Structure 1
Amino acid sequence: MERRTFLRGAVIGTSAAAFGGTLMHGAAYAAPAQKGPGPYGALGTADANGIQLPSGFTSRVIARSGQVVSGTSYTWHNAPDGGACFADGTGWIYVSNSEISTGGGAGAVKFNSSGSITGAYRILSSTRNNCAGGATPWNTWLSCEEVSLGYVYETDPWGVKAAVRRDAMGRFKHEAAAADPVRKVIYMTEDESDGCFYRFIPTTWGDLSAGTLQVLKAGTATSGSFTWANVPDRDGSPTVTRDQVSGAKIFNGGEGCHYANDTVWFTTKGDNRVWQLNLLNSTYELAYDDSLVSGGGAPLTGVDNVTGSSSGDLFVAEDGGNMEICIITPDDIVAPFLRITGQSSSEICGPAFSPDGKRLYFSSQRGTTGSSSGGITYEVTGPFRS
Structure 2
Amino acid sequence: MDRRSLLRVTALGAGAVALPFTGWSAAYAVARSGAGPYGPLCAADSHGIRLPEGFTSSVVARSGRRVTGTSYRWHDAPDGGATFPDGDGWIYVSNSEVPAPGRGGASMIRFGADGRVTAARRILAGTTGNCAGGGTPWRTWLSCEEIDRGKVFETYPRGGAAVARPAMGRFRHEAAAADPVRRVVYLTEDEPDGRFYRFVPHRWPDLAAGRLEVLCGGPGTSGAFTWKRVPDPGGTPVRTRHQVAAAKVFHGGEGCYYAGDIVWFTTKGDGRIWQVDLKAGRYRLTYDDNLAGAGPPPLTGVDNLTGSAGGDLYVAEDGGSMEICLVTPAGRVSPFLRVTGQDSSELCGVAFSPRGDRLYFSSQRGPAGVLTDGITYCVRGPFRG
Q: Output the TM-score relative to the length of structure 1.
A: 0.94
Query: Which residue pairs with 1:383 in the alignment?
Result: 382
Q: CA deviation at 1:36?
A: 3.1
Query: Which residue pairs with 1:117 in the alignment?
Result: 117
Q: CA deviation at 1:30?
A: 2.4
Q: CA deviation at 1:374?
A: 0.4
Query: Which residue pairs with 1:16 in the alignment?
Result: none
Instruction: State how many pairs are aligned.
Output: 375
Aligned ranges 1:221-260 → 2 under 5 Å: 221-260=220-259
Aligned ranges 1:145-224 → 2 under 5 Å: 145-158=145-158, 160-224=159-223
SS of match in other structure, 2:290: helix
Matched residues in 1 for 2:62 and 2:369: separation?
A: 13
2:39 to 13, 38, 41: 41
Q: CA deviation at 1:83?
A: 0.2
The gaps in structure 1 that reach 5 residues or longer are: 10-19
Q: Output the TM-score relative to the length of structure 2.
A: 0.94
Q: Is the 8 A contact 2:184 2:199 kept in 1?
A: yes
SS of match in other structure, 1:70: coil
Q: CA deviation at 1:44?
A: 0.4
Query: Which residue pairs with 2:294 in the alignment?
Result: 295
Q: CA deviation at 1:287?
A: 1.1
Q: Is the 8 A contact 1:32 1:286 kept in 2?
A: no
Q: Is the 8 A contact 2:21 2:312 kept in 1?
A: no
Q: Which amino acid aligns with 1:70?
A: T
Matched residues in 1 for 2:195 and 2:233: separation?
A: 13
Q: Which amino acid aligns with 1:280?
A: K
Q: Which amino acid aligns with 1:269?
A: K
Q: CA deviation at 1:293?
A: 5.7
Query: Which residue pairs with 2:50 in the alignment?
Result: 52
CA pair 48-23 structure 1, distance change in 2 beyond 3 A: closer
Matched residues in 2 for 1:181 and 1:32: separation?
A: 32
Matched residues in 1 for 2:309 and 2:166: separation?
A: 33
Q: CA deviation at 1:294?
A: 1.9
Q: Deviation string for 1:249-307 (max 9, x for gaps)?
A: 00000000000000000000000000000111111111110112621210000000000
Matched residues in 2 for 1:69 and 1:3: separation?
A: 41
SS of match in other structure, 1:291: coil
Q: Is the 8 A contact 2:19 2:311 kept in 1?
A: no
SS of match in other structure, 1:332: coil
Matched residues in 1 for 2:31 and 2:148: separation?
A: 33
SS of match in other structure, 2:167: helix
Q: Is the 8 A contact 1:307 1:315 kept in 2?
A: yes
Query: Which residue pairs with 1:68 in the alignment?
Result: 66
Q: CA deviation at 1:33?
A: 4.2
Q: Is the 8 A contact 1:195 1:251 kept in 2?
A: yes
Q: Deviation string for 1:289-335 (max 9, x for gaps)?
A: 01126212100000000000011100000000010000111111111
Q: Which amino acid aligns with 2:242?
A: D
Query: Which residue pairs with 1:107 in the alignment?
Result: 107
Q: Is the 8 A contact 1:348 1:362 kept in 2?
A: yes
Q: Is the 8 A contact 2:97 2:130 kept in 1?
A: yes
Matched residues in 1 for 2:339 and 2:16: separation?
A: 27
Matched residues in 2 for 1:138 and 1:96: separation?
A: 17
2:13 to 2, 5, 13: 5
Q: CA deviation at 1:3?
A: 6.3
Q: CA deviation at 1:32?
A: 6.2
Q: Is the 8 A contact 1:8 1:313 kept in 2?
A: no
Q: CA deviation at 1:89?
A: 1.1
Query: Which residue pairs with 1:368 in the alignment?
Result: 367
Q: Which amino acid aligns with 1:25?
A: G
Of the structure 1 ranges 99-108 and 194-203, higher mean CA displacement relative to structure 2 is found in 99-108
Aligned ranges 1:301-312 → 2 under 5 Å: 301-312=300-311
Matched residues in 1 for 2:313 and 2:206: separation?
A: 29
Query: Which residue pairs with 2:355 in the alignment?
Result: 356
Q: Is the 8 A contact 1:8 1:312 kept in 2?
A: no
Q: CA deviation at 1:34?
A: 4.2
CA pair 32-307 structure 1, distance change in 2 beyond 3 A: farther
Q: Is the 8 A contact 1:133 1:143 kept in 2?
A: yes
